[in-house]
Chains A and B, each alone.
Chain A
């Protein structure tokens, strides 16, 4: 049974349609990445899942219950870290953690003290004197001190330093190990790549993609550079091949993963001397979905200059593996939604 099941969810604020038929399915025990540009409706969805906002139409089930009607009962079974943590200014951090934990139905004192230590948080300071990062730590410690079934984390690490980010990732893995489910909204792609079993990407209140990262990679073109014995010809008429051009005797092109096989078959005829194939980076994947131009997203063109794929990756510092063509063996797996929309 899915832990979160949302179908065709609609929420409007006056004339603004914040959610426009959103779908989201999170299975028991997985860490699910919830991604999308700013203002795409992530926080609105999460607030509906918490029973804070009332949906206009559509289905929403959390742990088998209605998040609006059964809010109080559900909240004993989940913990929430808001994106913008605000706390009672005159309570200390320690008091705020205890209060939130107790209101949720109790917390594990040993874990609380351990987390305070690991996150290096001084619990005797008043909340009004905390920085954004420290306020976030308060909410994270309060959440992870409670042994619950579902953790709803809305951009929980946007104010944390890399050291704390690592501690945070450890904690997510620990609760996952214990069988809990995590919904993680995040813009930190390295974090998503490191933690998430599956991701859903939303845009303008709708889900545009959902699946494992490997599956999503196949929705984006692979950049290929090839050096051949004889000049190549006739590549641009092949299905799924785009943007063919020649620089210094090397041919650069982009190919949709589903058509990689046909391309290789054609290339062999010209005597391949060297071949590099670069799978799409996570960055390209997101830029494609986040970008302003939905048409580009639909045809599968990366929003950045495609030719610069490997340099763009190096500059952005996102994890990527500029790999030989052989690493693209999984390109044979059919894309889950029948290729790029």
Chain B
């Protein structure tokens, strides 16, 4: 029996298990790319606007850090600058999680053992997973190239940009193949791979920040750290600016090295074992753990800390960017108009800050959904059953989870507002005042997040099996309404569905109490429905 026996069958199993995920991934990435390209094209229609954008982007350190190095004034180059980092991060994380799901997670749950006892070669499960995920990246890249070209961008550049994104996916597929060998748990493998994504982002950001601006001011030549980051490689392809096709060989080379390394590690370890030994812990519980609230804190604290750090870094950078933003506005009236449309205020810098806080509120919505869906995860795992068989009422259990998610949202909103204020205050000379003002402004977004918590709770109570899908769909709908509603000129009635529509865009406008009270009331009603439904249904269901 060869080490690859059974690979084809296992690949079919991967396809069968992930048919919906893969379809969303493969179709979603190009659709997102198409929508973003169209939106960028409408904001920067003329050569003059793009010249302004390119010059500002090339000179702004924040823009270099978050959008990567700009390469020229072609519409495609602007699209890449505006979308590359987002799409690359999405593809990197999707690939990472998919690899872990079909390798280490199978070992952790014991499914791999069940399969491995059959006529299945040692390398077959890993090979099958990698094959499907590389293929998914490839197909998604082809469709993305078609989408970009369909949006009116030059063909060669579209292919190069799409291949660059696909290359990021392939590179992180290779990295995840290795991390899946190292950690004993799927969570650990994902955490390692996600940390690698983070490191790659920081390296690329550093390389681009320390890069040189070209003589004409519209290009950035990245410094060496970008070259050791798989996220940086995509920029170095220079799509739409004299494509350097050979750079695409880098992710392929990494794939070969990664697969070889993963095989070598798999060969040397036992089934289910890893190279990083799990840590021991306390033999008895600390008193503060021994309540639903203590448990909820213990379960959330790591995630919350990660979010807080991410939000703080982003907030601080966005704040500092506020000053550069003023320069950018001077250079580009069209962008000013766009920002104005998003924030709706007369004072542009306040509109910018309000828009940033709005984006944070949307992002933190994902934290709320993620935190509350833990209840459903516990129910599916069977842990909820064990907990509810003790003297803890369902109301107390669910209420504690809602409270924990809400407090987490408060913390994150404060961190977002305060760090943005600090950043902006440092460049304008009033860090404390700005921190207090923007911290307060950020907290005004809380009622919208309470509605998100209410929506997830109601879904969990009424349609538990659909909790995950429906909750994320709801958040996605709110996101799309907020981001694209104005661009697509949707009717106000549709926009009103999103709680974010109703939050006053402080500091661009004055705060108003009524919408916040109404939002809080809607949230309370949704929570009441969710808790009541949960109290009356079967567990598990």
Q: Are A92 and B281 in contact (CB under 8 A)?
A: yes
Q: Does A314 contact B (CB under 8 A)?
A: no
Q: Are B284 and A99 in contact (CB under 8 A)?
A: no
Q: Does B387 contact A (CB under 8 A)?
A: yes
| Bound CA–CA A134/B539 (angstroms) | 25
Given that A50-B389, A54-B538 are contacting pairs, would A94 and B283 also be in contact in the complex, using a CB cutoff of 8 Å? yes
| Bound CA–CA A76/B390 (angstroms) | 7
Q: Does A213 contact B (CB under 8 A)?
A: no
Q: Which residues of B contact A80 (CB under 8 A)?
A: 386, 389
| Bound CA–CA A89/B295 (angstroms) | 12
Q: Are A98 and B290 in contact (CB under 8 A)?
A: yes
Q: Which residues of B contact A87 (CB under 8 A)?
A: 383, 386
Interface residues of A in 89-115 (CB under 8 A from B): 89-92, 94-95, 98-100, 102-105
B interface, how many residues as a size bin? 35 or more
Q: Are A99 and B285 in contact (CB under 8 A)?
A: yes
Interface residues of A in 13-68 (CB under 8 A from B): 47, 50-54
Q: Are A126 and B281 in contact (CB under 8 A)?
A: yes
The contact of B391 among A76, A92, A123, by CB within 8 Å, is A76
Q: Are A99 and B295 in contact (CB under 8 A)?
A: yes
Q: Which residues of B contact A52 (CB under 8 A)?
A: 385, 388-389, 538-540
Q: Which residue of B lies closest to A96 (CB)?
A: B285
The contact of A94 among B285, B298, B382, B388, by CB within 8 Å, is B285
Q: Which residues of B contact A124 (CB under 8 A)?
A: 280-283
Q: Which residue of B lies closest to A97 (CB)?
A: B285
Interface centre among B281, B289, B291, B389 (most CB of A within 10 A): B389
How close is B35's CB to chain A, nearest CB, in angstroms? 38
Q: Which residues of A contact B390 (CB under 8 A)?
A: 75, 100, 103-105
Q: Does B257 contact A (CB under 8 A)?
A: no
How close is B131's CB to chain A, nearest CB, in angstroms? 29
Q: Which residues of A contact B284 (CB under 8 A)?
A: 94-95, 98, 123
Q: Which residue of A lies closest to B378 (CB)?
A: A88
Q: Which residues of A contact B282 (CB under 8 A)?
A: 92, 94-95, 124
How close is A14's CB to chain B, nearest CB, in angstroms? 11
| Bound CA–CA A214/B280 (angstroms) | 49
The contact of B185 among A94, A99, A128, by CB within 8 Å, is A128
Q: Which residue of B lies closest to A109 (CB)?
A: B284
Given that A72-B392, A98-B289, A129-B278 are contacting pairs, would A53 and B539 also be in contact in the complex, using a CB cutoff of 8 Å? yes
Q: Does A82 contact B (CB under 8 A)?
A: yes
Q: Are A102 and B291 in contact (CB under 8 A)?
A: yes
How close is A215's CB to chain B, nearest CB, in angstroms? 32
Q: Which residues of A contact B292 (CB under 8 A)?
A: 103
Q: Are B285 and A95 in contact (CB under 8 A)?
A: yes
Q: Which residue of A lies closest to B536 (CB)?
A: A54
Q: Does B489 contact A (CB under 8 A)?
A: no
How close is B185's CB to chain A, nearest CB, in angstroms? 6
The contact of A86 among B289, B290, B382, by CB within 8 Å, is B382
| Bound CA–CA A90/B291 (angstroms) | 16
Given that A92-B281, A95-B284, A128-B185 are contacting pairs, would A71 and B289 also be in contact in the complex, using a CB cutoff of 8 Å? no
The contact of A129 among B184, B385, B539, by CB within 8 Å, is B184
Mask: chain B, 360-390; 1 = CB below 8 Å from A; 0 = not: 0000000000000000000001110111111
Interface centre among A47, A51, A95, A123 (most CB of B within 10 A): A95
Mask: chain B, 508-541; 1 = CB below 8 Å from A; 0 = not: 0000000000000000000000000000111110
Interface residues of B in 220-259 (CB under 8 A from A): none
Q: Does B268 contact A (CB under 8 A)?
A: no
Q: Are B538 and A53 in contact (CB under 8 A)?
A: yes
Interface residues of B in 257-299 (CB under 8 A from A): 278-285, 289-292, 295, 298-299
| Bound CA–CA A82/B299 (angstroms) | 22
The contact of B187 among A71, A85, A89, A103, by CB within 8 Å, is A89
Q: Are A85 and B283 in contact (CB under 8 A)?
A: no
| Bound CA–CA A177/B337 (angstroms) | 81
How close is A75's CB to chain B, nearest CB, in angstroms? 4
| Bound CA–CA A75/B390 (angstroms) | 5
Given that A53-B538, A102-B290 are contacting pairs, would A92 and B386 also be in contact in the complex, using a CB cutoff of 8 Å? no
Q: Does B393 contact A (CB under 8 A)?
A: yes
Q: Are B389 and A85 in contact (CB under 8 A)?
A: no
| Bound CA–CA A48/B431 (angstroms) | 59
Q: Which residues of B contact A51 (CB under 8 A)?
A: 388
Q: Which residue of A lies closest to B389 (CB)?
A: A80
Interface residues of A in 110-147 (CB under 8 A from B): 123-126, 128-129, 139
How close is A212's CB to chain B, nearest CB, in angstroms? 29
Q: Which residues of B contact A100 (CB under 8 A)?
A: 386-387, 390
Q: Which residues of B contact A84 (CB under 8 A)?
A: 382
Given that A52-B539, A94-B284, A128-B185 are contacting pairs, would A82 and B391 also be in contact in the complex, using a CB cutoff of 8 Å? no
How close is A131's CB to chain B, nearest CB, in angstroms? 10
Q: Are A72 and B393 in contact (CB under 8 A)?
A: yes
| Bound CA–CA A91/B285 (angstroms) | 9
The contact of B381 among A47, A50, A86, by CB within 8 Å, is A86
Q: Are B388 and A99 in contact (CB under 8 A)?
A: no
| Bound CA–CA A73/B299 (angstroms) | 27
Interface centre among B283, B290, B393 (most CB of A within 10 A): B283
How close is B502's CB to chain A, nearest CB, in angstroms? 37
Q: Which residues of B contact A103 (CB under 8 A)?
A: 290-292, 387, 390-392
Q: Which residues of A contact B295 (CB under 8 A)?
A: 88, 99
| Bound CA–CA A139/B108 (angstroms) | 20
Q: Are A88 and B389 in contact (CB under 8 A)?
A: no
| Bound CA–CA A87/B388 (angstroms) | 13
| Bound CA–CA A124/B280 (angstroms) | 5
The contact of B278 among A53, A73, A94, A126, by CB within 8 Å, is A126
How close is B302's CB to chain A, nearest CB, in angstroms? 8
Q: Which residues of B contact A95 (CB under 8 A)?
A: 281-282, 284-285, 289
Q: Which residue of B lies closest to A132 (CB)?
A: B110
| Bound CA–CA A125/B277 (angstroms) | 11
Interface centre among B382, B386, B536, B537 (most CB of A within 10 A): B386
Q: List 27 A-B contacts (CB under 8 A).
A: A52-B389, A52-B539, A53-B538, A54-B537, A71-B388, A75-B389, A75-B392, A82-B385, A85-B382, A87-B383, A89-B187, A90-B298, A91-B285, A94-B283, A95-B281, A95-B284, A95-B289, A99-B285, A100-B390, A103-B290, A103-B387, A103-B392, A123-B283, A124-B281, A126-B280, A128-B108, A129-B278
A residues near B (Cβ < 8 Å) are 47, 50-54, 71-73, 75-76, 80, 82, 84-92, 94-95, 98-100, 102-105, 123-126, 128-129, 139
Given contacts A82-B385, A129-B278, 10 further A-B contacts (CB under 8 A): A47-B385, A52-B540, A54-B538, A75-B391, A82-B389, A94-B283, A98-B284, A104-B390, A123-B283, A124-B283
B residues near A (Cβ < 8 Å) are 108, 184-185, 187, 278-285, 289-292, 295, 298-299, 381-383, 385-393, 536-540
Nearest 4 pairs of A and B residues by beta carbon: A98-B285, A92-B281, A103-B390, A102-B290
